[in-house]
Amino acid sequence: MEGEADGSDSAADVSALGKKHLAMLERLSNRHQSRPDKSGSPPPAASFESTSSFLSLFNESRMSIESRLAQCRLADRSLLQLNFDEISASIANLEKLVAESSYYLPPYEVRSSLKTISDLKQALDNLSSELIPKKKFSFKNKPARKEPTAPSSKGAEADGHGSRPAAKAGSLAVAVPDSPGFRNRANEVLAKDVRGLEVGEFTLSDLESCEVRLIGCTRALFVHRLRNCRVYAGPVTGSVLIEEAEDCVFLLASHQIRIHNAKASDFYLRVRSRPIIEDCTGARFAPYRLNYRGIEQDLEDAALGEETGNWSKVDDFKWLRAAQSPNWSVLPENERIGTVDISELSA
Amino acid sequence: MGLLSIIRKIKRKEKEMRILMVGLDNSGKTTIVLKINGEDTSVISPTLGFNIKTITYQKYVQLMFCGRYTLNIWDVGGQKTIRSYWRNYFEQTDGLIWVVDSSDLRRLDDCKMELDNLLKEERLSGASLLIFANKQDIKGALTPAEIAKVLNLEAMDKTRHWKIVGCSAYTGEGLLEGFDWLVQDIASRIYMLE
Ligand SMILES: Nc1nc2c(ncn2[C@@H]2O[C@H](COP(=O)(O)OP(=O)(O)OP(=O)(O)O)[C@@H](O)[C@H]2O)c(=O)[nH]1
Ligand SMILES: [Mg+2]
């Protein structure tokens, strides 16, 4: 079933992915071809060699769907349901096309296509509940979710014992042991060498005006509510998750970095995938600048030995346009700090 | 409803299953899908929209071949901004996989809330539910039993078919067990009723 796909150089994918990917595209294109389409059958998906050919097909289908939507208003009532079903199937096809193409499309195109599809579904939904008021299954989901709970103020939970934050929430039904980390501290230098210890995840939370020095590898790093702190950390083999940081400086090396709700903070990163930000302002990025005795080996062991250049390829989830997001920038070279050496752990 | 039943029929013939995979961001959804498909998992960016993977899944019981299914797995990004898109993928879902980062204790509340909301969805009411308590390889991760307790799974609607399985997308442990159950459960609902 595999291996017969014609390898006509689809642009983006090389590597082991290529073959499976092509086979999948071929299956998809077969499905597309077997579907009657007013605008003639589209070129098979596997022949897309560029974003622009994807876009032209995408836009063509979008326009066809939009005009069919518009025509519904004039259509015979008895045919309405049929029309809606057809349009719904076309939208589903378009959606599949985007999903398959998302392997090589630039992030911006994926997201704007996604938004278009969502809008089309909404339009169909509105139209069908307007024209067929008693429709059996309308998409009646109003956002049932409430606003995420606002972060409780720091004083309210200054139990100072470094128990896990989740346990404080009261809703956790199980007792959990302390995990490694620093919590509820101010104006201190917090240092830890985790080499030789079997540390999994490490947590930094509720710190104010602290300097954190973390030597050695961890698997996951959670950072929550930091103000005016400097965080110098060795490699993380999984992901770093930062939520709520203000006026901070981070030196981090990791496979993945996710930053939520950060303000006016600088990130010196080495990262294997693209760093992402969500709900951030004034985030600035530069390459990783940390040193301690043995860091080369640690980076090597964590598959972070090489600079990837990803530190500047930031994706902003809150920015849907192709233009540069106003929420982050590259830190100008003359404002960057020099290499930080934390070989002497304590200050 | 005519079209829907036709689609059902076609699906039965091809033995296709539509599986929706969701959960908070950073829980490991994309890593799980790539791992189960035998692909490289060393460079994965957070999912900006969604991915779809088509996987052929063969089921053996005691070395006896007993079925071949095509799984269409929809892996949808879990970042807050795009959670509102989840609902675009509910239609015709046969199986739902909810992935939990068992080491992220602070966000278990969020995780529970989002799952509860999802399970209220009428369009998902017939779907089998597999919960992956992922990242079991991380020291300090909660066990599947603990996760089940936190998420209060026992209180779930009695008509729902569900199971929680501990796994690690890192080592691969638990993944097949989870998928085996899911495929088996869906198959017994959809295909064996004919
Ligand atoms: N240690 C460990 N790390 C894991 C495991 N599964 C995933 N990870 C790491 O967790 C991070 C997040 O994984 P992803 O697969 O991108 O998570 P996701 O759920 O797809 O996230 P979104 O696309 O944002 O919704 C990555 O850095 C993975 O390497 C696991 O079982 N163990
Ligand atoms: Mg993902």
Q: Are B187 and B155 in contact (CB under 8 A)?
A: no
Residues A303-312: tens digit of each pLDDT:
999 999 999 9
Residue A238: pLDDT band with limits 50, 70, 90: very high
Q: Between A341 and A158, name the one with better pLDDT.
A: A341
ipTM: 0.88
| Range from A140-154, A281-295, B64-78 carrying the lowest mean pLDDT | A140-154
Does one domain contain both A229 and A297?
yes
Highest mean pLDDT among A37-46, A70-79, B14-23, B54-63: B14-23
Does one domain contain both A186 and A279?
yes
What rounded mean pLDDT belongs to chain A?
78
Q: What's this model's pTM, rounded to 2 decimal places?
A: 0.74
Contacts of A255 in chain B (CB under 8 A): 42-44
What is the extent of the structural domain holding A283? 181-341
DSSP three-state, residue B58: strand
Does one domain contain both A185 and A293?
yes
Contacts of A198 in chain B (CB under 8 A): 139
Does one domain contain both A195 and A331?
yes
Does one domain contain both A84 and A216?
no
Residue A92 domain flag: yes
Checking if the pLDDT of A156 tops 80, the result is no
Residues A185-205: tens digit of each pLDDT:
999 999 999 998 888 899 999
Residue A154 domain flag: no
Residue A256: predicted pLDDT: 97
- The percent of residues above 90 in pLDDT, for chain B, comes to 68
Contacts of A110 in chain B (CB under 8 A): 48-49
Checking if the pLDDT of A162 tops 60, the result is no
Residue A177: predicted pLDDT: 62
In the chain, the amino acid numbered A269 is L
Residue B3: predicted pLDDT: 54
- The percent of residues above 70 in pLDDT, for chain A, comes to 72
Is residue B58 part of the annotated active site? The answer reads: no
Q: Do B42 and A220 touch (CB under 8 A)?
A: no
Last residue of one domain, picked from the residues A112, A131, A150: A131
DSSP three-state, residue B142: coil
Residue A220 domain flag: yes
Distance (Å) from the alpha carbon of A17 to chain B's nearest alpha carbon: 7
DSSP A287: E
Residue A93 domain flag: yes
Residue B4: predicted pLDDT: 55
Maximum C-alpha span of chain B = 52
* Dihedral sign for Cα atoms in the order A153, A159, A162, A166: negative
Does one domain contain both A82 and A201?
no
Does one domain contain both A185 and A304?
yes
* Cα–Cα dist A143/B80, whole Å: 13
Highest mean pLDDT among A24-28, A141-145, A163-167, B11-15: B11-15
A residues 199-238 closer than 8 Å to B (CB) = 199-201, 203, 205, 219-220, 222, 224, 238
As given in the structure block, the two tokens for residue B184 are 């088996």
Distance (Å) from the alpha carbon of B161 to chain A's nearest alpha carbon: 23
Beta strands in chain A (DSSP E): 181-186, 189-193, 201-208, 211-215, 218-227, 230-233, 236-246, 249-271, 276-278, 281-287, 290-291, 315-316, 328-330, 340-341
What's the whole-number mean pLDDT along residues A5-34?
Answer: 39
Checking if the pLDDT of A101 tops 60, the result is yes
As given in the structure block, the two tokens for residue A3 are 């291996």
* Cα–Cα dist A56/B161, whole Å: 43
What's the whole-number mean pLDDT along residues A79-106?
Answer: 85
Indicate the number of domains in chain A.
Answer: 2
Mutate to test the interface with A, among B1, B39, B105 (most CBs of A within 10 A): B105
Q: Among residues B176, B9, B192, which one has the least CA distance to residue B92?
A: B9
What's the whole-number mean pLDDT along residues A40-52?
Answer: 50
Residue A69 domain flag: yes
Instruction: Find the CB nearest A99 among B51, B81, B113.
Output: B51
Helices (H), B48-168: 80-83, 108-119, 144-150
Residue A49: predicted pLDDT: 56
Q: Do B146 and A17 touch (CB under 8 A)?
A: no
CA atoms within 13 A of residue A248's CA, in its CB half-sphere = 32
CATH code, A319: 2.160.20.70
Residues A54-66: tens digit of each pLDDT:
888 898 899 899 9
Residues B26-41: tens digit of each pLDDT:
999 999 999 999 999 9
Last residue of one domain, picked from the residues A73, A108, A131: A131
Residue A328 backbone dihedrals phi, psi, to 5 degrees: -145, 160
What's the whole-number mean pLDDT along residues B140-157?
Answer: 94
Residue A100: predicted pLDDT: 78
Residue B11: pLDDT band with limits 50, 70, 90: low
Whose tokens are 């303000």? That residue is A263
Residue B64: pLDDT band with limits 50, 70, 90: low
Residues B87-137: tens digit of each pLDDT:
888 988 999 999 999 999 999 999 999 999 999 999 999 999 999 999 999
Residue B138 backbone dihedrals phi, psi, to 5 degrees: -80, 130
Please indicate if any CB of chain B lies within 8 Å of the CB of A162.
Answer: no
- Residue of B27, B51, B147, B168 to test ligand 1 pocket, by largest number of atoms within 8 Å of CB: B27
Does one domain contain both A285 and A207?
yes
Which among B58, B62, B79, B184 is annotated as catalytic?
B79
* Cα–Cα dist A124/A62, whole Å: 13
CATH code, A88: 1.20.58
Highest mean pLDDT among A261-275, B3-17, B34-48: A261-275
Residue A185: predicted pLDDT: 96
Residue A175: predicted pLDDT: 64
C-alpha distances in Å from residue B145, one per residue of A163, A173, A254, B149, B151:
21, 11, 30, 6, 10
User: B103 CB less than 6 Å from ligand 1?
Assistant: no
Residue A137 domain flag: no
Residue A219: predicted pLDDT: 94
Does one domain contain both A22 and A107?
yes
Q: Among residues A266, A240, A268, A241, which one has the least CA distance to residue A254?
A: A240
Q: Among residues A273, A269, A278, A271, which one has the least CA distance to residue A243?
A: A278
Q: Between A69 and A330, name the one with better pLDDT.
A: A330
